[in-house]
Amino acid sequence: MSADRYSRQKLFAPIGQAGQQLIREKHVVIIGAGALGASSAEQLVRAGIGHLTIVDRDYVEMSNLQRQQLYSEEDAELRTPKAIAAKGRLQQINSDVSITELIMDVQREELEELFQAADLVLDATDNFETRMMINDVSQLYHVPWIYGGCVGSYGLSYTIIPGQTPCLHCLLETVPLGGATCDTVGVISPAVHMVTAHQVTEALKIIVEDFDSLHKKLISFDLWNNQYTSIKMDNVKKAECPSCGEDASYPFLSPVNQTKTAVLCGRDTVQIRPAVKQDLNLESLRERLHEGDTSLNPFLLSYQTGEQQMVFFKDGRVLIHGTKDITEARRLYHKILG
């Protein structure tokens, strides 16, 4: 390996030779290998991270190529799992980095195993249920994580250090139910890279142990409308928070607070039921579904996309016809409802 590979990074005083050695020794886990995950992974691999684990349940589609920089048309044509395609491209970029690829849908057990092996976790998921589980596992094992999300031209980032900063539960109180996703309102590539610029910069600060330089604020922006906000979060931390408070119970690791899935007997159908009963606005959802055919009555919304038909009920239940694969059903569900 050329001694000059990281020369410009080592010339940056906050990293230097000592920081580069720390980067070489650390293990970062990225949950999700879509737009945010692909961008963060490439930056960390180019920076010389010692060990990178990439976790994703999805495969590459042609619509991903507009913003997911690690993938090719061939990956989309072959429906290559994103974790596999990402590792292949990243090893071409830096063969000196140890990369572990995991094709799976993470739940509590998988998250606990991942966190126990990690120095830092980056969020690149597509749904808040997983994020809230990440948040609770982070607090349980005292491993920092960096939240990130984007849709349209809007993005968010926030760094969570267990025992020091407010956690995501402090910020949100409860999991947001429903809302816009990239599959319903779109996304532009610059918004993705703005989020990961914040995420990876914060990650490097943690990796080189420069904790005093952490932002300590919630960053939000809307690139198209020229808005940028930095909100101080110190006073948001709650002593009674069930995820990070004095008597933490880690509620989102309980099966009670997790989405229920079941394959319906004798049918190629998976039912997905949210942990909390909703009052889903079916008309609003229909307006966001630009691709595919929809039909609406007072009780349900039917949506046909490809070989799958999805039927949404007002209480938040969804029937996904055309598959018995729970992982595939969850993938389709989160693409629409986030």
Taking only the tens place, the pLDDT of each residue in 71-96 is 999 999 998 999 999 999 999 999 99
- Tell me if 188 is assigned to some domain: yes
If asked whether residues 114 and 174 sit together in one domain, one would say: yes
Judge whether 326 and 270 are in contact, CB under 8 Å.
yes
Based on the fold, state whether residues 226 and 299 are members of the same structural domain: no
My answer on whether 300 and 184 are in the same domain is no
Task: Please check the confidence at residue 110 and state whether its pLDDT lies above 90.
Answer: yes
The H-or-E segment that residue 40 falls in is helix 35-47
Last residue of a domain, one of 186, 219, 253: 253
Question: Residue 93 has what pLDDT?
Answer: 97
Overall number of domains in the chain: 2
**Does the active-site annotation cover 182?**
yes
Check residue 307 and report its DSSP letter.
Answer: T
Looking at the structure, do residues 219 and 330 belong to the same domain, yes or no? no
Which one of the listed residues 182, 241, 244, 265 is annotated catalytic? 182
Query: Whose CA is closest to 67, among 172, 155, 191?
Result: 191
- Note whether 81 and 225 are same-domain residues: yes
Contact 143, 162 (CB under 8 A): yes
Q: Which of 215, 192, 45 is nearest to 144 (CA)?
A: 215
Q: Domain check: are 241 and 287 in the same one?
A: no
Query: Do both 182 and 166 map to the same domain?
Result: yes
What percentage of the chain carries pLDDT values higher than 90?
62
- Over residues 94-103, the mean pLDDT reads 96
* Residue 80 is assigned to a structural domain of this protein: yes
Is 36 contained in some domain? yes
Residue 125 has pLDDT above 80, yes or no: yes
Identify whether the C-beta of residue 278 lies closer than 8 Å to the C-beta of residue 333. Answer: no
Q: Which domain holds residue 300?
A: 259-337
pLDDT score, position 334: 82
Q: Is 72 in the same domain as 183? A: yes
76 and 144 part of one domain: yes
What residues are paired with 116 via a beta bridge? none
194 and 87 within one domain: yes
Residue 2 lies in a domain: no
218 and 100 within one domain: yes
- Do 25 and 149 lie in a common domain? yes
Among the candidates 253, 282, 311, a domain finishes at 253
Q: Is the pLDDT of residue 174 over 70?
A: no
